[in-house]
Structure 1
Amino acid sequence: MNKSFRKLVLVTGVVASTIGVPVSTQAALPFFNDSKKEVPSLAPMLEEAMPAVVSIAVEGTQTSRQEVPEMFRYFFGGPPEQTRERPFRGLGSGVIIDAEKGFVVTNAHVVDNADEITVKLADGREFSAKKLGADEQSDVALLKIEPDDLTALPLADSDEVRVGDFVVAIGNPFGLSQTVTSGIVSAMGRSGLNIGGIEDFIQTDAAINRGNSGGALVNLHGELVGINTAIFGPNGGNVGIGFAIPANMMNNLVEQIAEFGEVRRGLLGILGSNVDQGLAEAMNSEVNKGAFVSEVQPDSAAEEAGIKAGDIIVAINGKELNSFGELRAKISTMGAGAKVELTLVRKGERLSVDVVLDDATQKQVVAEQIHPALQGATLVAGTDPDGNEGILVSEVAEGSPAARIGLREEDIILAVGRQRVSSVMEFRDAIENTKGVIAMNVRRGNASLYVVIRQ
């Protein structure tokens, strides 16, 4: 059976499903019907939560580029690339998180390339929505509608969510609006799934299917735990493995979008890996999980805070870390300038350091710190002539390895393989996660080409 991760492209809404809870635990449920047979019910909670989950309809135009083979260009002339535009329509869902301001959160892929966005409330009212901004790497977008007697979901502290907590997914699977499914939290801090650029997912067995994307994952108090974003299963069907963006991560991102119109990603300035038993034994450490620091970048926030190579980061702001991927996701979704407390283990001793994060979108980096083949190049965030965000090659030393692989000054690196990159940090992560040949999609003037690094 071919299993694959798939983005959930339709979305919204809420089918009622109850959790079979033993009688002995009924008293612990915050929403409970004491009448008659005393059957536990989610209905009271859902009556409060459902109006905050909305349906999103989008219309727009998708542009695709296709390279024209050289032999046809020779015979018929014309540019090396041709573009095609085609209209599209889509459905999705979102969650109202601020009733007064009219803020609606959804997945970035739900509203990607949308020219018109219409938000439909559970009571049938419709509003034209404005896209305030989006972050493709974390798959979060913030919309605004004109406030008019709206209902918002309160946010849970997703750092306090535990494996085994009951949760309810509200969405629009296969276009079936107002559908509810229930389950538990199956795992926390899931990363390394290659679903997106930044991964720190809540895993749940609540049934999530195509169309739940952008919907709400709530706890039994009716608080927003996460935004449903992806599923794992054959042909995009539910097999009891779904993923949601934690509410805390989402909130960090939308606060930046609301203030700046974009995400100003934080940067710690370290390279590293997960801690496992083999690494722990090699470092003579009793710590078997966390983020191992293999290198501290010069003039970085980490260096200024006193972090050293060989340190193991075991907690962030007092919350235990399970992996380097979890640390990277939490740091990158915090805003530039954010103050963070990191707990380290160094030579068996536990200590805490305070870090003020750099701005990953503005930080200029000597490229050899990312890959030896890039030595001689200097990189900084930039945009191509069409306004697409990427990595600007601001300098290339003559005769350097970067020059020999074909990079030139003013090149804009747009992607590594098929993964789009819009910041130096995203570029570094994409390079680190690529095995074998690295193919960088480069915009040079009006031409698109690939620069290849053979490892």
Structure 2
Amino acid sequence: MKTFLVSAGLALAVTFTSVPVQAGLPFFGNDKEELPTLAPMLEEVTPAVVNISVKGNREVRQRVPEAFRFFFGPNSPQEQVRERPFRGLGSGVIIDKDNGYVVTNNHVIDDASEIQVTLKDGRQYDAKVIGTDARSDIALLQIQDGKNLTEIEVGRSGQLRVGDFVVAIGNPFGLGQTVTSGIVSALGRSGLGIEEVENFIQTDAAINSGNSGGALVTLDGKLIGINTAILGPGGGNIGIGFAIPADMMTNLVDQLLEFGEVRRGVLGVRGDNLTQDIANALDLEMTQGAFVAEVIADSAAEQAGLKSGDVIVGVNGESIRSFFELAARVGSIGAGKEVTLNIVRDGDEMDVSVVLDNEESATVAAELHPALEGVSLSVNSGGGVLITEVAENSPAARLGLRQNDIILGVNKTPTNSLSELRQALDNVGGVIALNLQRGNSQLYLVLRGR
């Protein structure tokens, strides 16, 4: 279960006792008594929500005390790496009954060697991983040899409003399937530090361990979010839970099915959230949106005609409240896709069509490691990450990197995509050895820690 300050997973705990008809809850009963109930909807939806149990081995790094390092000599390792077995529980949602596709959180199945899915009726199946995206915490599984499965209809999370009723379904604390309820508390939550790509639905749902990857649904039974994390500094629920929007999940899943990985689109702007101070300086009447401070040369944004000083207020007709939300929206849309940006320029509203760049060619390598500053990267069709350009007198040039070098691995961990290179570099705490192919030869270049 994903942890934000304390724990992760989601279970909603708002009870309807006496609800007026205007609230929109379905009513069922006889002539003498009518009570609000969600039972008919849940009878249709809950078979599509599954429990997930995993087990595997995970690396544990332990720093070697200085006294022992002195005893074994100056060249002894600074830390020990051991593998320890682990087990975990979570939830998932069947989105395609014919192919057995299940969406869950990446942290639910991360490092798992065995994954088992349990249906509401008790049937159990093995599952395999189709693809994952750690940066947005989404994973796509496939049930093996599943029969008579039930899928859930995916709704449009972009049409949600604050105050809409929602229902969460999952497996808190391994108790078995549990249904709870609440409302949408906020939309477009970002900048929380939970994930690298954030655009959360906030709900007053009680999120508990084991609910991660479960379903957040509307009162008509449509999936509008994947429950992910809570804010719980005291160790328990305080009514602030977060779910990944269904629109974002759908974009990511489509890419996982097509490519086996997420190939993020890149706009090519730098900026900040539009604040009152910025609005006052630019004589703008609005105070929400993504302020464009710089348009990167030769980027998709420059080619589309975006300019510094523009304020992006929407993507494909759906409003944008912050620069963080813009980054998350664009980051979940695939490279090469065309999007319509709703912008305000000098007080005038207009629409701009942009064909997104590929993140693999647009990422600033210095973000991966300072020593890589000055290189341009792209995926190599034959495997590895290709260095397409090295800036003269840059840190990368001084390190010895050359144009057309191919990064095959980091400390013997293969890297066949930018996301794998990023993850490999993040997982190394000490000396980094880049395995390069240069022409017909292979060599290593050594980088020190960050």
**TM exceeding 0.5:** yes
Which residue in 2 is equivalent to 1:265? 264
SS at match of 2:5: strand
Shifted more, 171-180 versus 80-89: the winner is 80-89
**Equivalents in 1 of 2:4, 2:123: separation in Å?**
37
**Equivalents in 1 of 2:242, 2:228: separation in Å?**
6
Q: Which of 6, 21, 25 is the aligned partner of 1:24?
A: 21
1:447/1:408 CA distance change after superposition, 3 Å: closer
**Contact 1:210-1:237 within 8 A present in 2 as well:** no
User: CA offset at residue 340 of structure 1?
Assistant: 0.3
User: CA offset at residue 34 of structure 1?
Assistant: 3.2
- 1:343 partnered with 2:338: no
User: CA offset at residue 332 of structure 1?
Assistant: 0.4
1:153/1:242 CA distance change after superposition, 3 Å: same
- 1:360 partnered with 2:359: yes
User: CA offset at residue 288 of structure 1?
Assistant: 1.4
Which residue in 2 is equivalent to 1:34? 29
1:440/1:395 CA distance change after superposition, 3 Å: farther
- 1:334 partnered with 2:333: yes
1:74/1:411 CA distance change after superposition, 3 Å: farther
TM-score by length of 2: 0.83
1:79/1:444 CA distance change after superposition, 3 Å: farther
1:195/1:167 CA distance change after superposition, 3 Å: same
SS at match of 1:164: coil
1:42/1:403 CA distance change after superposition, 3 Å: same
SS at match of 1:5: coil
Aligned length: 421
User: CA offset at residue 69 of structure 1?
Assistant: 6.9
User: CA offset at residue 23 of structure 1?
Assistant: 2.9
**Contact 1:377-1:394 within 8 A present in 2 as well:** no
Q: How do 1:299-310 and structure 2 match up within 5 A?
A: 299-310=298-309
Which residue in 1 is equivalent to 2:287? 288
1:408/1:141 CA distance change after superposition, 3 Å: same
**Contact 1:169-1:207 within 8 A present in 2 as well:** no
**Contact 1:16-1:179 within 8 A present in 2 as well:** no
Which residue in 1 is equivalent to 2:439? none
**Contact 1:292-1:310 within 8 A present in 2 as well:** yes
Deviations along 1:241-267, one digit per CA (max 9) or x if unpaired, are 000000110011111111111111111
Which residue in 1 is equivalent to 2:141? 143
Which residue in 2 is equivalent to 1:118? 116
**Contact 2:19-2:36 within 8 A present in 1 as well:** no
Which residue in 2 is equivalent to 1:61? 57
Q: Could you list the runs of 5+ residues in structure 2 that have no partner in the other structure?
A: 411-416, 436-443
In structure 2, what residue type is equivalent to 1:59?
K
Which residue in 2 is equivalent to 1:434? none
Q: Could you list the runs of 5+ residues in structure 1 that have no partner in the other structure?
A: 416-421, 432-438
Which residue in 2 is equivalent to 1:101? 99
Which residue in 1 is equivalent to 2:5? 5
Q: Percent identity?
A: 53
User: CA offset at residue 380 of structure 1?
Assistant: 2.1
1:423/1:15 CA distance change after superposition, 3 Å: closer
Q: Which of 33, 43, 48 is the aligned partner of 2:44?
A: 48
In structure 1, what residue type is equivalent to 2:182?
G
**Equivalents in 2 of 1:364, 1:200: separation in Å?**
22
User: CA offset at residue 400 of structure 1?
Assistant: 3.6
Which residue in 1 is equivalent to 2:83? 85
SS at match of 2:312: strand
SS at match of 1:249: helix
Deviations along 1:272-326, one digit per CA (max 9) or x if unpaired, are 1100110011112222110011111111111111111111101111111111111
User: CA offset at residue 403 of structure 1?
Assistant: 6.6
1:48/1:236 CA distance change after superposition, 3 Å: farther
**Equivalents in 2 of 1:403, 1:66: separation in Å?**
34
- 1:127 partnered with 2:122: no
In structure 2, what residue type is equivalent to 1:85?
E
SS at match of 1:148: coil
User: CA offset at residue 157 of structure 1?
Assistant: 0.5
**Contact 1:364-1:378 within 8 A present in 2 as well:** no
**Equivalents in 2 of 1:255, 1:80: separation in Å?**
43
Which residue in 1 is equivalent to 2:377? 380
User: CA offset at residue 79 of structure 1?
Assistant: 5.2
User: CA offset at residue 64 of structure 1?
Assistant: 2.9
**Equivalents in 2 of 1:381, 1:7: separation in Å?**
37
Deviations along 1:403-432, one digit per CA (max 9) or x if unpaired, are 78x7967798x99xxxxxx848x97xxx9x
Shifted more, 197-206 versus 81-90: the winner is 81-90
SS at match of 1:129: strand
SS at match of 2:91: strand
Deviations along 1:210-252, one digit per CA (max 9) or x if unpaired, are 2211111111001111000000013441110000000110011
User: CA offset at residue 63 of structure 1?
Assistant: 1.5
CA RMSD of the aligned region, Å? Answer: 3.6
User: CA offset at residue 22 of structure 1?
Assistant: 2.9
- 1:316 partnered with 2:315: yes
**Contact 1:73-1:79 within 8 A present in 2 as well:** no
In structure 2, what residue type is equivalent to 1:292?
F
1:85/1:448 CA distance change after superposition, 3 Å: farther
Which residue in 1 is equivalent to 2:171? 172
**Contact 2:7-2:232 within 8 A present in 1 as well:** no
**Contact 1:266-1:337 within 8 A present in 2 as well:** yes
